[in-house]
Structure 1
């Protein structure tokens, strides 16, 4: 097992990884920008190294600086966390080349699944159902029109190297397609340096369902069930729950078995998530995230399995600590992403946290690096806390979540807590009757 792990991230996920390491008797090294000198993960780690000024490209995305910090600290392994370099194949390869262990999948798997066209081709070869669409990137408008007419309008134009909703445009008819292609290509080029796009059938009312996978280097693969991540605004998830209120037992079993069988053939190692759109009883693969997910705690809450601990063990060469038959699913869990932003305008709200009180009690977990007196910097993602609540049933979970949100207080900055309070009181959400477009309409209606 590793003696010292460098955590190449910040905020709540850096603290989450530190806690897992601490419980395994592993020493930790925190890296930080000058803006994060007083961050909680820096305060708690055994060692810390400043890797640059506030801008991400000069600090958390600065590969030479992170590798130098690992060398200086004498770390055995590097955990990339979520975001930043977590799905950067070049970084994963550099980590290994410099004699450290990358706590994640192989660079080859990161590369393959990072290209959405290649990932879709791989899914087909692994017998994973995919959304009908082009076989690969679209070279010209004539080809795009042929494919669109073949699969039927409306269609979705998507950036091959995309993510976060960037480089995605809907064409309702042939009249819209040329403009959608032009806009998607321009946006893809600006955001990813790659203007390749492909076409998919546009599904009108899908759920976003993802399957959590764990795999080791000994051929063992298990799944931890599904998460419903359909509540999204501008393709950014706001709330996740497990299990999904939209699936029945047979659908749940089928997609779990499909995912594990595919990852076994793929030879995957580490934690990963296969994401699907689900509509009218059918699953369609959209992408795979080759890293830990922000919403991983909901799976932990209903299974009792520490995903970060398993990540670390697998990276060290150990087999998974349990088989699929050992995984049991208990109750229901919901996660609310608490962002430092206005619940009305969604504009970021960095600044000084004057007061902080986290909710507690049975079945309540808060993953956050906040404390009173901490200044939320303006340079990074607005996620500042995750409230995860579990209960023996979905109804019990909802009642507990309502109570926990009433207790949660963060002073000095605006947060998304008021939006979550309003959201979980909506009849459609209470009934589990929502899809990936529901939240946008809910926010616009101010109901």
Structure 2
């Protein structure tokens, strides 16, 4: 596939504007963790203070995720995203002004980031539901790879830029830049130009509980979907505990890695993700979940090396490969959702997916924090790596996971079997009927 063909999704004006909006807003968002951490620590030099601010943000996001999915399916997703961006812009600008003026308190930042967490619960389902509406179905994998490339590339340079801003002019200005990026993204989203869907406009409104049940029904009736989410609920707990808790502990005690080396390791992971996105623009995953679940097993490699032989170069290489593996799964998973879940319920389904992922992360962090005090670190990491692989591969025992194909491949196969007629799967047919 030629480079021009790899970027074909950008030829659609709607996707081009949406891609620009996502890229601009992400440019600010990737700086926030660094800026916010130093802003909090400037007020209160304790890990508990930072945990309070970040914990409240995660908690409010989890609480409102399912509501966010219903809202994104019920109303125009572009409007939902614009309103969310307005609120994020205002909260980040408020935090920036308080910090720059020297008046910020821990309570104020906690409340503002709590609001941001709640807003993000509406943002994520809306973003998942927009992509199938702004790009041709045959280019969904390309579109997801482009969005991932933008996000991953900015994740490499964003923290470094944030660090320079924090050192040069202070953390408040990094948050001010984030607020500005959301303001620009709002303008870009207005240029996407999605038409109002007539089926959506005339559809009767049901209670939120009923719509949540409908979303849950769509989620549970697709075996491939809930099997993978269940597997990732468990593996995310392991990954967040091993890499998030034990990883820094091992790095600081290893003369070969250290604090600076741990930063190099994480950067290597980001580079692996970026390079794989370029490859995913040119390759076609015929069985996206089979490829994704096999690839995700690679994340066990850095766990093994951190436990058995924590040396900078091999660990960095392992994280590079892990970053590439995450990208294979990420693009495959997003494409599977976009192609096989009707767009009318896609945001609700994705909110159940996100809930399964985010709930596991704090649980894993807490459990491994306790395990680190009662078990040998090396043994814990090696056992965790083995369990991680077993859980990931067990998802492939489900035929619906390992045999799920791209919907365009299914149409081609059905077309040949029926003498060339275009036969569309039920989920795809519903999705196309709901298009603008």
Whether the TM-score (by the shorter chain) exceeds 0.5 is no
TM-score, normalised to structure 2, is: 0.26
More RCO (CA 8 Å, sep 6+): 2
Q: Which of the pair is proportionally richer in strand?
A: 1
Q: Which of the pair is proportionally richer in helix?
A: 2
TM-score, normalised to structure 1, is: 0.26
